Amino acid sequence: MVVAPRVLVLPYPAQGHVIPMMELSHRLVEHGVKVTFVNTELNHGVILGALATSDSELAGIDMVSVPDGLGHGEDRKDLARLTDSFSKVMPLELEKLVGKINGDAPERHGRISWFIADVNMAWAFHVAKRLGLRAAGFCPSSAAMFATRIKIPEMISDGVLDESGWPRWRGTFRLAPAMPTVDTSEFSWNRAGDAKGQPVIFNLILRNNAATHLAEAIVCNSVHELEPGAFALFPSVLPVGPLSSCSDKPAGSFWPEDTSCAAWLDAQPASSVVYVAFGSLAAYDAAQLVEMAEGLALTSRPFLWVVRPGSATEELVDELRRRAAASRGRVVCWCPQRRVLAHPSVGCFLTHCGWNSTMEAVANGVPLLCWPYFTDQFLNQSYICDVWSTGIKVPRGGDGEGAGLVGREVVRGKVEELLGDAERRRGRSRCRTSPGGPSARKGRRAGTWNGSWTS
Ligand code: UDP
C-alpha cells in the first residue's frame, strides 16, 4: 500500500499566521498530502471552541497542539513575552511530537517527512534536520517584509541600523525599485509592542534569518505581479498567494464567525458598505472608538464593523452597537472576512493593513482606507498607497502605537474621499466597458450568498 506523504505545518502562534497556513494546508490536502497542523495548546482550544467541535480532524487536517510555556491566563498579546517563552519550550515539544507520530503505526497514517514552518519559526528547521526530515518555509507576510528582514546585516553595515536593530537616522528609502518605502522609524521589529520587548523580537528575527538556509524552499503568500521588485531580490522565494478563499472549510478563526451579516450585506446597495476591521491584535482606546463610530455615522453610508471580543468593554460595545444601529451600521464580534470582502455590497475597507487583510482586499478589488497599527502594517500601507494606488491613508499625528486621536470629521472625510474616488473610477470604466449598470468589480463574485453562510 502506498501511503500519502505527511507534512507537519507550524505557524507562529497568532491569528494572522494560522489562517493562511490553514488555507495552505487545505490546498495540500486537496492534492492528496496528509497534514498535521501544530498549534499551541491555547490556540488549538480556541480554534476548536470557535467551531464548537471537539473533533480534532478539520476537513482532513489533523489538528494537534504543544505547550507555549506560558501559564494559564498569561497575556499572549505581549508578543515578546510569548516569543521568549515558546522559543524555549517548543523545539523539544516538537521533537517529542514527531517522535510520537512517526513511532505510532506510521504505515497506517503516514510518516511525517516534511516540516513546513512559518519563517517566523525558523528554529523548527533545525529540529527537522536533527530528525532527518525535509524543511520548507512559509512567509505569511509580503515578500518585501521578508526582504527587509533578510537585509538586516546589510543595513547594519550600511549604517542604516545599529547592531540592536534601531535606526541610525530618520528618513525613508527603498530596497529596490517597485518596492514600498521603508520609513526608518517603522521597522517591524521596533514596532511590535512595548519597546522593552524589542530585543526578544529582533533576536528572534536574527536567529530566523540564520536558519532560513536550512529550508529547501520558501513560499510566500503573495503574487509576483504585486511585488516584482521584492521577488526580483529573492528569486528563490515562490509566490503562492493569494491564499484566500470563500470555501466552507474551517479558516482557523480564534473566534466564532457571525454569519448573520450575510443577509444584512445582501440587503445593501452594490459597493455601498464601509467594512471596518482591524485584524486580531490592533487595539484602539475608548475615545478613538467613539470618534470612529461618530465618523462612520456622519458618512450616512451603511457600515459593518468588527469589534473583536476583548478589544472594548462590554458597555462600550453595547454603546457602539446602539450608535451603529441608529445610523445604518452593524457591529459584529468576528465575521467571515474573506466572504465579506468578496460581497458586491462592500465599497471600501477601513483596515489596519495586516498582510492577510491587504491581500484579501486586493484579491477582491476593494479600495482601502489605511490605519496601520504596528509591525509590518506601515510597509503594507506604503504598498497600498504609494505603489499600487489602491487606497489612501488616515492622517494621524503623534508617535507610538495607535498614536494621535483621529477625529470624527477626519474619518468621515476620508471615507467620502475614498468612496467618491472609487465611484468616479467605476463610473469611468462603466462608460468605457459596461453601459449595462453597476457590475461587480473585476475579480469579484457577482450575486449573493443569502442563506449560504453556514459555519
Ligand atoms: N478576520 C476574520 N474575521 C474578522 C476579522 C479578521 O476572519 O472579523 C481574518 C482576516 O480575514 C485575516 C485575519 O483575520 O485573514 C487577520 O490577519 P491580518 O494579517 O489582516 O491581521 P493580524 O490579525 O495579523 O493583525
Q: Do residues 135 and 211 touch, judged by C-beta distance below 8 A? A: no
Q: Which atom of ligand 1 is nearest to the CA of 140?
A: 19
Q: How much distance in Å is there from the Cα of 356 to the middle of ligand 1?
A: 6
> Around 8, how many Cα atoms within 13 Å sit in the side-chain half-sphere?
29
Helix (H, G, I), strand (E, B) or coil at 279: coil
CA-nearest residue, atom 18 of ligand 1: 354
Fold classification of 6-143+210-239 is Rossmann fold (3.40.50)
Q: Cα Rg for the chain, rounded, in angstroms?
A: 22
Please write down the long-range contacts of 431-440, taking CB distance under 8 Å and 24 or more positions apart.
Answer: 438/270, 438/271, 440/270, 440/344
Q: How much distance in Å is there from the Cα of 18 to the middle of ligand 1?
A: 10
pLDDT at 345: 98
Residue 450 has pLDDT above 90, yes or no: no
CA-nearest residue, atom 6 of ligand 1: 279
CA-nearest residue, atom 25 of ligand 1: 279
- Provide the sign of the torsion angle of the four alpha carbons 186, 187, 191, 196, taken in this order: negative
364: left (phi over 0), alpha (psi -120 to 50) or beta: alpha
End-to-end CA distance of the chain: 36
Please state, in angstroms and rounded to a whole number, the distance separating the CA atoms of residues 39 and 424.
45
CA-nearest residue, atom 13 of ligand 1: 16
Query: In what side-by-side order are the strands of the sheet with 368-370?
Result: 329-332, 303-306, 273-277, 346-351, 368-370, 391-393
Q: How much distance in Å is there from the Cα of 377 to the middle of ligand 1?
A: 13
Q: Which atom of ligand 1 is nearest to the CA of 19?
A: 15
Supply 442's cell numbers: 473585476
- Which residue ranges make up each domain of the chain? 6-143+210-239, 261-441
CA-nearest residue, atom 17 of ligand 1: 16
**Quick one: average pLDDT of 367-382?**
97
- Which residue is it, cell 462600550? 316
317 alpha-carbon distance from chain centroid: 24
**Quick one: average pLDDT of 44-62?**
97
pTM exceeding 0.85: yes
Ligand 1, CB cutoff 6 Å, lining residues: 15-16, 19, 251, 253, 277, 279-282, 306, 334-335, 337-338, 354-357, 360
Task: Give the list of residues 6+ apart from residue 282 with CB closer than 8 angstroms, or none.
Answer: 352, 354, 373, 374, 377, 402
Supply 455's cell numbers: 459555519
Domain pair 6-143+210-239 / 261-441, same fold: yes
**Quick one: average pLDDT of 353-372?**
97
Q: Which atom of ligand 1 is nearest to the CA of 280?
A: 23
pLDDT at 448: 40
Q: How much distance in Å is there from the Cα of 287 to the middle of ligand 1?
A: 23
Q: How much distance in Å is there from the Cα of 8 to the middle of ligand 1?
A: 23
pLDDT at 443: 42
- 261-441 carries CATH number 3.40.800.10: no
pLDDT digit string (tens) for 113-135? Answer: 999 999 999 999 999 999 999 99
Please state, in angstroms and rounded to a whole number, the distance separating the CA atoms of residues 72 and 40.
12
Q: Which atom of ligand 1 is nearest to the CA of 15?
A: 23
